[in-house]
Amino acid sequence: MAQAMLKPKDFNLKYSFESGQPLGFYADFSGSALSYNMRSHTVQARQDAGVLNLKSDSILFAKAEVSSRFRLSDNMERIYNEISTDRFMEQSIQKYRGLRVTLNDPWETLVVFIISQNNNIKRIRNSTLRLIETFGRATRFGKEFPSIADFSGAAESDFKAAGLGFRSRYMVHAVDYCANNLDLRMLKNKDSCSIKQELMQITGVGGKIADCVALMGYGRLEAFPIDVWIKRALEKVYFRGDAMSMDRLQDFAMDKWGKYAGYAQQYLYWNARNNFSTI
C-alpha cells in the first residue's frame, strides 16, 4: 500500500475518534492507529508525535478522505478563540486540545444516532457492527457501511436481530423515507434549521438526532445537539444546577458560542463524559 504523511496543527486523532462521533462506532482503533473501509478503499492512519501517517491502496483518496472527515482545514486557533468564553470551556479545550468535529456521510450519521437513542457507547458500536456485517457491501478490504439501498427490503425483525430493539421501527421508517421521500444529498445546500425540520419528519428523529446530523453529517458548525450529558453539564456549570428547558439551553448556546456552537458542544460533551463527577 502507498504511504503519505500529514502534519495537521491542533489535531488529536484519539480524542476525535473516541468522542462519540459516527466513525467511532464502527472503525477499528488500536493505540494511535485507525483503520476503516470507505468507497471500495481502505484507509489506515496512525498519529505519532503530531505526524499523521497514512496508508491506503489509494493514497490520494486517503488524504482527501482523512482531511475531509477530520476537518483538517478548520482554523482551530480561530475556533478556540471564539468558543473560549469562560474558564470551564478553556479547561475543556486544554484537556482535549485537538479534538475535531468530524464530517461524515449524512446517512451514516443518521443511522448511528438513531441507534444511539437511550443507549450506551458499547451497545451502539455492537449494533452498528452487526448492521455492517449483515447489510454492508463486501469489498476486497472488508465490508463497508451500508447505504440506503443496501437496507432495501429489511424488516423490523432484521434490525432487532442486530440489537436495535425499539429503534428497529425507526430504522424501517428511515430507510423507507430516505429512499422515497427525502434525498439526503439535496439537504447539503440548506441551513441547519431547514435540515433539522426535514429530518424530523422521520419517525423517531427528534431535535437532538437532527442536530447531530446537521453538525456531523452536513458540517453546520452552529448546530448544538443536546443530550443528557450536555443538559446536565450546561445546567451545572452555567445555571447553578437549576433545571432548564431545551429551548432555553439552545438559545443560551447560540448566544454564547454562535457559529461555532457545535465545536463548543463537542468539548462540553467529552469533558462531561470523562469528568462529570468533578464538574
- The percent of residues above 70 in pLDDT, for the chain, comes to 99
Report the residue count for the chain.
Answer: 279
C-alpha cell at 65: 478522505
Q: What is the 3 state secondary structure string of 82-146?
A: HHCCCHHHHHHHHHCCCCCCCCCCHHHHHHHHHHCCCCCHHHHHHHHHHHHHHHCCEECCEECCC
Angle between helices 106-115 and 207-216 (to 10 degrees): 150
- pTM, two decimal places: 0.95
Tell me which of 149 and 278 has the higher pLDDT. Answer: 149
pLDDT at 149: 97
* pLDDT (0 to 100) of residue 279: 54
Q: What pLDDT is attached to residue 276?
A: 72
Give the model's pLDDT for residue 277: 62
pLDDT at 275 over 90: no
State pLDDT tens for residues 194-239: 999 999 999 999 999 999 999 999 999 999 999 988 999 999 999 9
Closest by Cα among 263, 251, 105 to 187: 105
Question: Which letter, b or e, does each residue of 200-210 get, where b requires 16 or more Cβ atoms within 10 Å of its Cβ?
Answer: eebebbeebbb
CA distance 98 to 242: 31
pLDDT, position 95:
96
Which amino acid, 20?
G
Q: What pLDDT, on a 0 to 100 scale, did the predictor assign at position 237?
A: 94
* Per-residue pLDDT reduced to its tens digit, 58-116: 999 999 999 999 999 999 999 999 999 999 999 999 999 999 999 999 999 999 999 99
As a whole number of angstroms, the distance between CA 69 and CA 104 comes to: 6
Residue 31 in this model has a pLDDT that exceeds 80: no
CB 165 within 8 A of CB 126: no
What letter would DSSP give residue 258?
G
Residue 229 is predicted with a pLDDT of 87
pLDDT of residue 206: 96
Residue range 136-145, pLDDT digits in tens: 999 999 999 9
Answer yes or no: are the C-beta atoms of 254 and 4 closer than 8 Å: no
